[in-house]
Chains A and B, each alone.
Chain A
Amino acid sequence: MPDQPAIVATDLVRDFPRPRTSLLTPAPVVHALRGVSLEVKQGERFGIVGESGCGKSTLLRLIAALDRPTSGQIVVEGTDITNLPERRLRFLRENLQLVFQDPMSSLDPRMRVRDIIAEPLVVQGHPASGARVRELLDAVGLPANAGERYPHQFSGGQRQRISIARALAPRPRILIADEPVSALDVSVRAQVLNLISDLVDELDLTLVFVSHDLSVVKHVCDRVAVMNAGQIVETGPTADVYAAPQHAYTQRLVSAIPTLQRALSGATTADLLSHPAAPSKGAPA
């Protein structure tokens, strides 16, 4: 099944009902996703870009079957997971792994690193050998004795390495990274991006990389989908989208990214706004 796409999403809709505010009016509904369709090929590095509240995390949760769509269909490696019960999702729990944004809150502070990394193996009934844990620590560039320590003893970049090691433990084929570097310093960001890039290549992973920073996505991904207000407004090869954005929202997004090159050639803060900013949705008027 090499030609089979890794992930196919068709017309995904996810509505979240909010608590009723009045007895006389129906409960308000937040339309988090309004008809999202995308296809990620095997071995592809696929980026999803958008601002807070655009629905990118909701989309990820649907792909990882952590949440169910209101309507639409998700097929992962040929299996329709849309309405599959949890007990039949075992293949997905092994083949698809996640790395989250905040490496502090996504690691259990009371578990030793070796137990954190072995946990996905234990849960899935695999033998969690010390050798596999050491191999994973080595793969993400951490010393073998790191396994004995606790998450708080590590810096942000090292914690993100632990998250990556945990995600790779069950030998997944699809890696989903939700803003993995936005909490990191510049020099650490480069190290973690290199690590993700190397591992994706070496282990032949399909990567879905979510970020609000188009310049990071451009560096990591082959193809990108730009999301705004629950919809994908533009998809294409990353370099093309970055160099010649077609949709008005993408244009505004690209022009708002400060870069050294632009700044050194005299760009000011007013130039970042050359496409007038629209008020963010969901905010009070």
Chain B
Amino acid sequence: MLVWASLAVLGSFALGAPPARAEAVGTACASCHEPAVAAHLKGKHGKVDCLSCHAKADAHLANPGPDTKPSLPDATACQTCHVKDARRMNWQFSDHAKGGLACVQCHGNHTPKAAKGSETARLKDGASQLCASCHKDVLARFSMPSHHPVKEGAVSCVGCHDPHAGKQVSLAGKTEKCTQCHQAIRGPHALEHPPVSEDCMGCHNPHGSPNRKLLVQAQPALCLQCHSLADIRHSVGAAANARVTGAALRNCTACHGAIHGSASDQHLRF
């Protein structure tokens, strides 16, 4: 990989400079918007003229002022250039697009956009801060006793969610998002716990939970909604209708530790 990277960088220099950046980019705009133009020239869009993205600027140039402020680019304007980008090719079918969002609401076209609002400062990751500035219900879940370490900077929202796509155009199975990091529990298991194979979120809320291990319900409720308890193994004296003590009820996985699947035990105990 290192060789590839070195060749790519060297090759890029060997190819020489790309078409020179238009010195005239934003010349007319710079007289009033000098900081924005200066940042723009250093950025990835540095050789793109202001008018390429800011439509309806003629009136503003003729009569500068807030009343004639040019519009921000919509997604269609961005995709005029970003049409060959595989990660954004299904944008039109994404949940964000359906919600009426434009690219500029997350991306700064001159410099990377930073989230506003001091409540989002609790997240270390910049991308997650942006997500949290709208998805406040999810942000609250990251303060629960059990949560994915987004606040702590170990994972990012965009590590699991593709903001440019949606479930409708996803080619990943329901468990594959989780097992791209949690390979140790994906098996293949000779003896599966079938609901686990279907969907991790039947039992876990990946954002946060008041219950241990991100469980959507605490044990034993989570397990008892599907399973009956056999008296012969769980009740005092193994007697029918005898009481089942708190020791057996408090944590089903204390005995059934291979709850995600086992290599050789039907009862998922090891």
Tell whether A pairs with B. no
Give chain A's interface residues, CB within 8 Å of chain B. none
